[in-house]
């Protein structure tokens, strides 16, 4: 390979590492970026409201695994097991095609400029806003990873069986407070979960052979119908009673013992998190403010690894190593 090309690629990859994030990052290089993302998200919302919730979830599953670097979006290759099939993601994360559509539209307008990692952050904000939630300015300028780690994702991402104290520990590793944990769990104000994620609490909570006693009885009857023993684990139920509206109903439901996921309901059972659940159940503005703060903090989790601007969010660009082999 030509030495100058190699050097250029190296500078491209390493040079932007650790870039300061800022809200006007694409102001000159792709001024329409945020409008393009919004338009595609709007179309997705009109096609299937749940799809924007599914996209919003990507921010959590991306940022907690080696920072917000779109590692989540990489497909498996013969050399690398990606994160899409990690324990918490397999048969669960969905709507990757919405990110593909956004990326295609951005590549048409400003080729090679907007990272997939930033797309996830913009799209998550738009998902919340389109569903009736708050709007906020996002910081941009992230790079896309060159690798993904299925193992890290499986080890890190929490199970629906988690209790509040293990979630507090997990979030604290990312400098996210108890308040951040409860506010961010309010993302379950939109979207759905599978029976697979709740059958244990319906029939055998903590190996007791009994249901979780914190489930409100009428709600339990409803869940039992939706998710019978040995039923189809892929059947889905709403995470709160207004699943396409981003509001504080999720917290009202928790106060009434009507949380879908065990990990959500324990936020009300556990004293340290309960005060926030109760506050948000009566004060939607407090929820919105703290949620936005949490999303921004989570978006600040950066990767310390080299990166690039991927042309296709599912694959890394042709790497220098391949170019060496080609020359
Ligand atoms: C606090 C720890 C969390 C746990 C244990 C957790 C767990 C889960 C589980 C088990 C599901 C249902 C998956 C399924 O059954 O297939 C789910 C759905 C969802 N999660 Fe979380 N989650 C957490 C935090 C978050 C955060 C911080 C966000 C975003 C900021 C988020 C956004 C979502 C969304 C939007 C859905 C619905 C997705 C859809 O409808 O496709 N979650 N989560």
- Asked, colleague to colleague, whether 3-157+306-326 and 164-298 share their fold, the answer is no
CATH of domain 3-157+306-326: 1.10.520.10
Exactly one of 38, 50, 57, 61 is catalytic; name it: 61
The mean pLDDT value of the chain amounts to 93
pLDDT (mean) for 109-117:
98
Ligand 1, pocket residues at CB < 6 Å: 50, 53-54, 56-57, 59-60, 92, 94, 158, 160, 162, 167, 184-185, 187-188, 190-194, 197, 239, 261, 263
Interval between CA 225 and ligand 1 midpoint (Å)? 22
Annotated binding site for substrate: 158
Contact yes or no for 254/269 (Cβ under 8 A):
no
Cα dihedral 207, 209, 213, 219 in deg (nearest 10): 120
pLDDT at residue 7, rounded to an integer: 36
Q: Predicted confidence band at 318 (pLDDT cuts at 50, 70, 90)? A: confident
> Residue 59 pLDDT more than 80?
yes
> Residue 5 pLDDT more than 60?
no
Q: Predicted confidence band at 229 (pLDDT cuts at 50, 70, 90)? A: very high
Tens digit of each residue's pLDDT (9 = 90 or more) over 275-291: 999 999 999 999 999 99
Task: Name, in order, each residue with C-beta under 8 angstroms of 232's C-beta and a sequence gap of 6 or more.
Answer: 195
pLDDT at residue 227, rounded to an integer: 98
Query: What percent of the chain lies above the pLDDT cut of 70?
Result: 91
Burial class (CB in 10 A: 0-12, 13-18, 19+), 183: buried
User: Which residue CA neighbors atom 13 of ligand 1 most closely?
Assistant: 193
pLDDT (mean) for 32-41:
98
> Residue 102 pLDDT more than 60?
yes
pLDDT (mean) for 73-90:
97
Tens digit of each residue's pLDDT (9 = 90 or more) over 134-193: 999 999 999 999 999 999 999 999 999 999 999 999 999 999 999 999 999 999 999 999
Give the nearest ligand 1 atom to 162 CA: 5
Q: How far is CA 200 from CA 89, 162, 196, 230, 268, in A?
A: 18, 12, 8, 11, 19
Task: Name, in order, each residue with C-beta under 8 angstroms of 324's C-beta and a sequence gap of 6 or more.
Answer: 1, 6
CATH superfamily of 164-298: Peroxidase, domain 2 (1.10.420.10)
Contacts 24+ apart (CB under 8 A), 162-171: 162/262, 162/263, 162/266, 163/262, 163/263, 163/266, 163/270, 164/263, 164/266, 164/267, 164/269, 164/270, 164/272, 164/273, 165/270, 165/272, 167/263, 167/266, 167/267, 168/272, 168/273
Q: Predicted confidence band at 242 (pLDDT cuts at 50, 70, 90)? A: very high
Mutational pocket test of ligand 1: of 62, 156, 184, 193, the residue with most ligand atoms within 8 Å of the beta carbon: 193
Interval between CA 61 and ligand 1 midpoint (Å)? 9
pLDDT (mean) for 66-95:
98
pLDDT at residue 144, rounded to an integer: 98
Annotated binding site: 62, 65, 67, 69, 71, 83, 158, 188, 240, 242, 247
User: Which residue CA neighbors atom 33 of ligand 1 most closely?
Assistant: 57
User: Which residue CA neighbors atom 25 of ligand 1 most closely?
Assistant: 185
User: Which residue CA neighbors atom 7 of ligand 1 most closely?
Assistant: 160
Mutational pocket test of ligand 1: of 53, 60, 263, the residue with most ligand atoms within 8 Å of the beta carbon: 60
> Residue 87 pLDDT more than 60?
yes
Known catalytic membership, residue 61? yes
Instruction: Please give the backbone phi and psi of residue 39, each rounded to the nearest 5 degrees, phi first.
Output: -65, -45
pLDDT at residue 64, rounded to an integer: 98
Q: Where are the domains of the chain?
A: 3-157+306-326, 164-298
């Amino acid at each position: 390979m030509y030495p100058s090309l190699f050097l250029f690629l190296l500078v491209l990859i390493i040079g932007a590492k650790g870039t300061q994030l800022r809200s006007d990052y694409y102001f000159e290089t792709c001024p329409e970026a945020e409008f393009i993302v919004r338009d595609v998200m709007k179309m997705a919302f009109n096609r299937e409201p749940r799809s924007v919730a599914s996209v919003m979830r990507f921010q959590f599953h991306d940022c907690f695994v080696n920072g917000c670097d779109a590692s989540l979006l990489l497909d498996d290759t013969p050399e690398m097991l990606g994160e899409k099939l990690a324990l918490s993601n397999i048969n669960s994360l969905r709507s990757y095609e919405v990110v593909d559509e956004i990326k295609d539209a951005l590549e048409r307008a400003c080729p090679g400029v907007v990272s997939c990692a930033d797309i996830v952050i913009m799209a998550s904000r738009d998902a919340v806003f389109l569903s009736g939630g708050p709007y906020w300015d996002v910081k941009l300028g992230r790079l896309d990873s060159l690798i993904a780690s299925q193992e890290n994702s499986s080890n890190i991402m929490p199970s629906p069986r988690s209790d509040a104290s293990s979630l507090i520990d997990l979030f604290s590793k990312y400098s996210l407070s108890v308040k951040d944990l409860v506010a961010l769990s309010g993302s379950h104000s939109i979207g759905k979960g599978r029976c697979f994620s709740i059958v244990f609490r319906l029939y055998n909570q903590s190996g007791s052979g009994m249901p979780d006693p914190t489930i409100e009885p009428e709600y339990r009857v409803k869940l039992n119908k939706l998710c019978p023993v040995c039923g189809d684990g892929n059947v889905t139920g709403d995470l709160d009673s207004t699943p396409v509206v981003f509001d504080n109903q999720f917290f009202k439901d928790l106060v009434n013992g009507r949380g879908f996921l065990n990990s959500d309901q324990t936020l009300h059972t556990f004293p340290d998190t309960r005060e926030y659940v109760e506050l948000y159940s009566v004060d939607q503005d407090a929820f919105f403010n703290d949620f936005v703060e949490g999303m921004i903090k989570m978006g600040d989790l950066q990767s310390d690894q080299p990166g690039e601007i991927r042309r296709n969010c599912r694959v890394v660009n042709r790497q220098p190593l391949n170019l060496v082999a080609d020359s």
